[in-house]
Structures are given as structure tokens and as C-alpha cells.
């Protein structure tokens, strides 16, 4: 039997919603992880393990793990630290499984890797050794490494997104890195410095399915697509209500389909445009966009959606899910055509991910 799990990271712990392939009836459980602020909760398809990353004001950063679909949890931060004297890690912001390993992105920005299922961690030191690092500046949420995108079939290759340093790429397993921001704007820079080598405020990165190197990027300053692994980015923001938003989510099978949640603008309050909620979808790689509103609030929608709080599942048709800053979780079982709330009063939602398993 197919089970669908929606993993929700919130300001007060992890919540899990479970359903079957029909995705009509859902059960909700939580909060887990001792009600810690959780930035990102994910499921590892290869093992069925659930991981939740965060940082507690009292007790610092850790990665939580459950191997029984959320019934019981352990936590660890062994090795998840910079050298003595450096600014300590505040929180773990992002997780990604890749080639049997688990990656974790942290604040202040850096990358860690675990090869024992999150029990111990080692620093991927090459990233912070990049010569640009002294010039990395924090975005509004801090200097955070918030997206990790392993290459679909080459374990030595990896992209990361850092606010506000931009996209960086390695093809030697993390030893050396290069910025991959060409074509993305930094509107907050002086006019003659709007296209720097690094320093862009990437908000999210999504890898298109199919095994290629097509990437999508929602940036603080625009929406972009790259068909060559980020060497060159091109704007795909024409037709969107705003150039500003946080999350993006790829379709599980169609490289031309992407889901977005544009907000009204960075200096306008950062909520739904005209206070009417809509998910925006392209079917042609960003050439055109359609707003999807059926079942979403069309008045007084003054919520935001954070950078990791939009996800798809891998069923047919694909499910789409997003969580709001106000604690509501919305779901579509038909690729965004119609929506229904799965929960309305959770804590502020940081992340939404899915796990589809046969059990």
C-alpha cells in the first residue's frame, strides 16, 4: 500500500501528515523534536528515515532522526561544529540525501556531511575556504546555507544556495567551489554592480527531473532558469505578478513544469499579491505562467510562504503542498488545479517536504 507523508518543519517542532495515494483523508501528528524550531524536515526515499534540522535557542543546532515514520526520535550534533574560536553554528537550515550520504547546510553558512545516517558529521571545509567567503553577507534570515542540490547521478557534483552569497558549485566532492550566478541580478547593489560574480540573494534552488542539469532559481531579485547547471541563468519572470518570492518546487517527472508562490514584493509587506493567494505554474520552463487559485483564500491573505515551504510529491498526478507563515498547510492532489487546507493553525511553517513509501 502506498503511503504519502507530508513533513512539516515549524517554529515549534515537526509535524507529520499521513494519507494514502488518494490523498483525501489525512491524519496529523506532532509536534515532534521537543518543539524545537525546525528549519527543514525531509524524508530519505532510499532508507525511509525522516530527518529534521534546526537550532534551539537554549541547546543549539542538531539534526533529529526517526526511523519509524515519526514515532520515536533521536538527535545528534556530533561533529557539527566549526573550529574553536570561530563563530559557533546557530542552526541547521537545510538537509539533502545524496549517494548514500546526508548533507546539512548551517548558519553561519557552511556545509556538513554525514555518512552514517546523521549520527556523526564532518565539515565540507572547501566551501568556507573559498576566497569570496570574507565578503559573504547575511540576508534577512542570517548568513544561511539553505538549499543543497546533489547532482542527479554524479556524487562528486553539488550545488548550494547561500543567502546572500549566491549559488556555489563543486564537481570534486566539495574540495573546491565556484560561484554560479552569471545572469542573476543584485538590485540592491549600485547600478554598475548589479551582476556580480557572487553576493546575489538566492532564495531557493530546484533541480528539474530527468537527469539533466536544468535548475530553477527564485531569487530576491527575479526568477531564473539555467539549462547548463548554473553557468548561465536567464530570467523567466515575465508573466509573474512579482519578481519576489521564496520557494520553488519542481515537478517529479516534467522538467518544464515548476510551481512558485510569488509574494507582492520585498518592500511591500511580502504577502500574497493583492492579499489573494495563488500558486503559479509553468508548463514550458518559465515561458508562460498560470495562476492556480481554486480553493485558496481570495481575500485577506496576508501570509508569506518561506523558502522551503513548497513541495511536490511523486504520485500521478503530482501532489503540491505549501505551508504559510500563519501556520496553514494547503494541498492539491491534481498538480495545483484545486486546493484544500490540511491544517490551519500550526506554528509558523518553515518547510514542507513529502515522502512516498510502499508500506
Partner 1 sequence: MQSEDRSLASQADTMVTVVLPRALLRLFPDAPCEVSVQARTVGEMIAALDARWPGMRDRLQDSTPAVRRHINVFVDGRRAKLETVLEDGLKVYVLTAISGG
Nearest approach in angstroms of CB 165 to partner 1 is 22
For residue 285, what are the CA distances in angstroms to 19, 104, 222? 30, 29, 15
DSSP 77: -
Closer CB to partner 1, 89 or 162, in the complex? 89
Closer CB to partner 1, 89 or 236, in the complex? 89
> CB neighbours of 90 closer than 8 A, spacing ≥ 6?
55, 60, 61, 106, 107, 108, 142
Mark the segment that binds partner 1 (CB under 8 A) among 46-54, 57-65, 209-217, 225-233: 57-65
88 near partner 1, rule: CB under 8 A: yes
101 near partner 1, rule: CB under 8 A: no
60 near partner 1, rule: CB under 8 A: yes
Closer CB to partner 1, 29 or 290, in the complex? 29
Q: What is the dihedral of CA 294, 295, 297, 299, to 10 degrees?
A: 50
> CB neighbours of 153 closer than 8 A, spacing ≥ 6?
211
DSSP 229-265: TTSS-EE--TTSS-S-EEEEEE-SS-TT-EEEEE-S-
> Given candidates 76, 132, 189, 232, which one binds partner 1 under the rule CB under 8 A?
76
Closer CB to partner 1, 141 or 255, in the complex? 141
Closer CB to partner 1, 164 or 346, in the complex? 346
Mark the segment that binds partner 1 (CB under 8 A) among 79-87, 221-229, 260-268, 326-334: 79-87
Half-sphere exposure of 233 (CA within 13 A, CB side): 29
Q: How many angstroms separate the CA atoms of 292 and 277, rounded?
A: 9
Size of the site for partner 1 (CB under 8 A): 20
Which positions touch partner 1 (CB under 8 A)? 11, 34, 57-60, 62, 75-78, 80-86, 88-89
Amino acid at each position: 500500500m502506498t503511503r504519502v507523508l507530508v513533513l512539516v518543519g515549524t517554529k515549534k517542532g515537526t509535524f507529520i501528515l499521513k494519507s494514502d495515494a488518494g490523498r483525501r483523508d489525512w491524519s496529523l501528528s506532532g509536534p515532534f523534536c521537543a518543539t524545537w524550531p525546525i528549519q527543514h524536515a525531509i524524508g530519505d526515499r532510499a532508507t525511509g528515515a525522516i530527518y529534521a534540522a534546526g537550532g534551539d535557542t537554549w541547546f543549539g543546532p542538531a539534526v533529529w532522526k526517526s526511523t519509524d515514520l515519526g514515532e520515536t526520535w533521536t538527535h545528534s550534533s556530533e561533529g557539527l561544529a566549526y573550529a574553536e574560536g570561530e563563530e559557533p553554528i546557530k542552526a541547521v537550515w537545510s538537509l539533502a540525501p545524496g549517494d548514500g550520504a546526508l548533507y546539512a547546510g548551517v548558519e553561519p553558512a557552511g556545509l556538513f556531511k554525514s555518512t552514517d545516517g546523521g549520527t556523526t558529521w564532518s565539515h565540507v571545509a572547501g566551501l568556507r575556504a573559498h576566497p569570496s567567503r570574507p565578503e559573504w553577507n547575511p540576508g534577512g534570515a542570517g548568513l544561511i546555507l539553505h538549499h543543497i542540490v546533489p547532482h542527479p547521478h554524479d556524487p562528486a557534483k553539488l550545488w548550494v544556495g547561500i543567502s546572500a552569497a549566491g549559488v556555489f558549485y563543486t564537481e570534486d566532492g566539495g574540495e573546491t567551489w565556484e560561484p554560479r550566478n552569471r545572469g542573476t541580478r543584485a538590485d540592491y547593489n549600485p547600478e554598475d554592480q548589479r551582476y556580480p560574480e557572487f553576493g546575489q540573494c538566492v532564495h531557493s534552488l530546484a533541480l528539474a527531473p530527468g537527469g539533466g542539469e536544468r535548475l530553477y532559481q527564485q531569487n530576491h531579485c527575479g526568477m531564473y532558469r539555467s539549462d547548463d547547471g548554473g553557468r548561465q541563468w536567464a530570467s523567466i519572470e515575465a508573466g509573474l505578478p512579482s519578481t519576489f518570492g521564496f520557494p520553488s518546487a519542481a515537478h517529479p517527472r516534467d522538467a518544464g513544469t515548476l510551481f512558485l508562490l510569488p509574494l507582492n514584493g520585498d518592500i511591500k509587506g511580502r504577502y500574497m499579491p493583492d492579499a489573494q493567494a495563488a500558486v503559479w505554474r509553468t508548463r514550458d520552463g518559465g515561458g508562460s505562467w498560470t495562476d492556480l487559485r481554486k480553493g485558496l483564500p481570495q481575500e485577506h491573505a496576508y501570509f508569506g510562504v518561506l523558502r522551503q515551504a513548497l513541495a511536490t510529491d511523486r504520485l500521478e498526478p503530482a501532489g503540491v503542498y505549501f505551508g504559510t507563515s500563519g501556520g496553514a498547510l494547503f494541498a492539491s492532489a491534481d498538480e495545483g488545479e484545486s486546493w484544500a487546507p490540511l491544517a490551519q493553525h500550526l506554528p509558523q511553517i518553515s518547510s514542507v517536504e513529502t515522502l512516498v513509501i510502499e508500506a
